Chain A
Amino acid sequence: MMPALLRSLVRRSSRRGAFLYPGAEIRDLPGAQGRHPARVRVSVEGQAKAAVEVGRNRLAITAGVFALAFCVIAGRLVDLMALNGGEAEAMAAAMAASDGPVVGAVVARSDIVDRNGVILATNLPTVNLYADTRAILDPEEAARRLVQLFPDMEYGETRDKLASGGHFVYLRRHLTPEQQEAVNLLGQPGLEFEPTERRVYPQGPLAAHVLGATSTDNHGIAGIESSFDRYLLEKAEPLQLSLDVRVQHAVRDVLLKAVDRFHAIAGAALVADVRTGEILALVSLPDYQPEAFSGAPADSRRNRATLGVYEMGSTFKLVNTALGLEVGGYHVTDGFDASHPLRMAGFTIHDDHAQARWLSIEEILVHSSNIGSAKMALAIGGDAQKAFLDRLGLLSPISLELPEVGKPLYPDPWRPINTVTISYGHGVAVTPVHMVNAVMPLVNGGWYRPATLLRQDPEAPPPGHQVVSARTSDTMRSLMRRVVTDGTGRKADVAGYLVGGKTGTAEKNEHGRYRHKALLPSFVAAFPMDDPRYVVLAMLDEPKGIPETHGFAAAGWNAAPTAGAMIARIAPILGVRPRGPETPVAPEVRFATASGDAGRAVH
């Protein structure tokens, strides 16, 4: 059969034979075996076989390539149709990475809030007005109408700006929504708005010296705004301070009235929690509107509570007494002869409230004796005094979260005359925050915790380190209470709150000379003295004697009552329960409570 096929092929090519339909040649020849299908076995040999193999391979490869291409197209189609060409995946990944589109910050700079979440500083969205001057049809008309709207804009300048030909000329920053609408209603083409944000301080000057200020491009230039600039720009959640606006307001209010009443040129006040070191109120007067920081006078911008360093005067005797008890190992009943003024290195040390007799350590503090303090410090020695002051943080800059922190001034070398003057608060200049921070361990059982402006976790107070013993702290508490009940601080007492403290009246040192008429009275207090919670400091700068104080300008007459008034205002806010029988207690009440918690009712 095969030879027949080959023959027919040969025949077909070589000569014309009988007509055959295509394919007929591979069938049996007519009449051979009826019309049975051909049984053909193609067997190609040699070159022909190779050609067929090549053809088949090419076919297979082409089919494979096509199949692959179609698969790719199908995959791409599914990708495009169902998954948006990777866009959806990218979106999903972005959503998973962030917390979703509606969690991020609303504004570019996060809020500053007080310990209760009251907003102290926030960004508000506003618009800037600019002009695309190429689109302005009539600069003179547009300028005229803009000046009508904003009377503080100058016509000539505005017209020149509008006619300048620039396509982005700022006309006015931070329009209110009403102003924006008014500009829109002008219907002037070429007046455009640029969305922006503005830092606002809803409480005004209340916490100005803590917050600081921001520049027009929303960067901190003072206070917390400056020290936490990166935090505020990067984090979405607000920055929570330790301040309490209620306390801050009460303290500022009382201090404002005191500055006014005693004709002082300035004042500062602090309230701090002795358990955590948190500062609840920090006031420095005069203060400023944070929005108008750059225009405020330098005197207002000066933070007297943290930047100004002052010789604190007799309030330092608290530190000196603690030095005697802790380092000197004295007992409160030990004493020194204060009957004669002390002469040393050409100076004579007098007492302001001279008792002219032998005084116990307790009496030295209560009567604020310079002579007794000096003799005690001399007995202990200058090196121990310096080391103790350093332990209380009085010789190094305070670690407060503000850029405006003052560096203490102290003598070098530390001569015996310095030991004498420092014992009663002259010769070392510290900030009021230093003073508060040093008094805290004297009343809280001896624990030094750096003062902070950030809210601390009440469950986990920051770890402190013990700088004086609990026994010294206990003694200091009762001594401070004695100063208020029997000594120079009587006017600071607030019935029920067991206030303890110490007055200090420093003479201001200007160009190395002390001015007798320029006083810096201060009062540092803690309350309630049976379990101190808060330290309060009030300081007035150059108050004058007034008829109500019989012309005196010493701390007992102005700073002490100011601190007392602050405590009376803030203690109920802070939830400190008054002690002692505020109302006469009937005998049967005493009887009824005798079995129960009597100590609480009739202390």
Chain B
Amino acid sequence: MRLRGIAVVWGVLAVAAAAGLFRLKYEVIALEERLATLTHAIEADRRAIHVLRAEWSYFNDPDSLDKRVGAKLDLVPMDPAHIIALDALPFRPKPVGETAGGPARPPRVLNPGSAAPIPVPGQKPATLAEYTVMRTQP
């Protein structure tokens, strides 16, 4: 009986292994086909990219670009005068009528408090008492 049991187990194992191998075999074949298809597609794409890169280079030939830009656009080759350092840019010009000596600037707020620095109608002007504690900025 024991012998027969072992034989059955081996038999089942053998059939299972055969079935597994069979399945594996066909799975591998399918995967290989897929790999070949993909590789082929990638190769075709790479060839196309190669040709397109050459075409891109051909259409970006500086000589023909130069001619086309000259004919169709208002662009000129860059000149040294077109380049300036940021800190060499002049400040914004002063508004007309402003004098150098006494600009009509609002007074600086030296004592931030409840009083408005500029007397506005309806607002309480700053009192002298508040100015006594103010510290002058250097």
Contacts and interface: CB of A to CB of B under 8 A. Distances in A.
Interface of A: 77-78, 81-82, 84, 88, 101-102, 106-107, 118-120, 122, 124-125, 200, 202-204, 206, 245-246, 248-250, 253, 494-497, 568-569, 571-573, 577-578, 581-583, 585-586, 588-589, 592-593, 596-597, 600-602
Of the listed residues B42, B77, B78, B91, the one surrounded by the most CB atoms of chain A closer than 10 A to its CB is: B77
Contacts of B47: 106, 125
Nearest to A584: B90
B84 A583 contact: yes
Given A82-B21, A82-B24, A119-B54, A568 B80 contact: yes
Contact of A568 (B46, B50, B79): B79
B38 to A, nearest CB: 9
A577 B84 CA distance: 8
Contacts of A586: 90-91
A248 B32 CA distance: 49
Interface of B: 21-22, 24-25, 28, 39, 42-43, 46-47, 50-51, 53-58, 60-63, 66, 77-85, 87-91
Nearest to A114: B57
B91 A572 contact: no
A593 B87 contact: yes
A186 B10 CA distance: 67
A331 to B, nearest CB: 34
B22 A81 contact: yes
A138 to B, nearest CB: 36
A569 B82 CA distance: 12
Given A82-B24, A82-B25, A204-B63, A597 B87 contact: yes
Contacts of A206: 61-63
A583 B28 CA distance: 74
Contact of A497 (B53, B80, B90): B80
B87 A589 contact: yes
Given A568-B80, A572-B80, A122 B50 contact: yes
B87 A125 contact: no
Contacts of B24: 81-82
Interface centre among B24, B56, B81 (most CB of A within 10 A): B81
B87 A81 contact: no
B61 A204 contact: yes
B61 A495 contact: no
Contact of A202 (B22, B57, B88): B57
A88 B56 CA distance: 40
Contacts of A589: 87-91
A77 B18 CA distance: 10
Nearest to B49: A106
18 contacts: A77-B21, A82-B25, A106-B47, A106-B50, A119-B57, A122-B50, A122-B53, A200-B58, A202-B57, A204-B63, A206-B62, A494-B80, A572-B79, A577-B83, A588-B91, A592-B87, A592-B91, A596-B87
Contact of B61 (A81, A202, A578, A593): A202
Nearest to A246: B62
B80 A106 contact: no
B83 A245 contact: no
Contacts of A495: 80-81
Given A118-B57, A203-B61, A203-B62, 5 more contacts: A81-B21, A81-B24, A88-B28, A119-B53, A583-B90
A45 to B, nearest CB: 33
A577 B85 contact: yes
A581 B89 CA distance: 10
Nearest to B42: A102
A368 B89 CA distance: 40
A81 B26 CA distance: 9
A594 to B, nearest CB: 11
Nearest to B58: A202
Contacts of A245: 62
B57 A249 contact: no
Contact of B57 (A122, A125, A494, A596): A122
Contact of B25 (A81, A125, A582, A593): A81
A24 B120 CA distance: 142
Contacts of A253: 63, 66
A571 B80 contact: yes
Contacts of B50: 106-107, 122, 124
A249 B66 contact: yes
Contact of A249 (B25, B63, B84, B87): B63
Contacts of B53: 119, 122
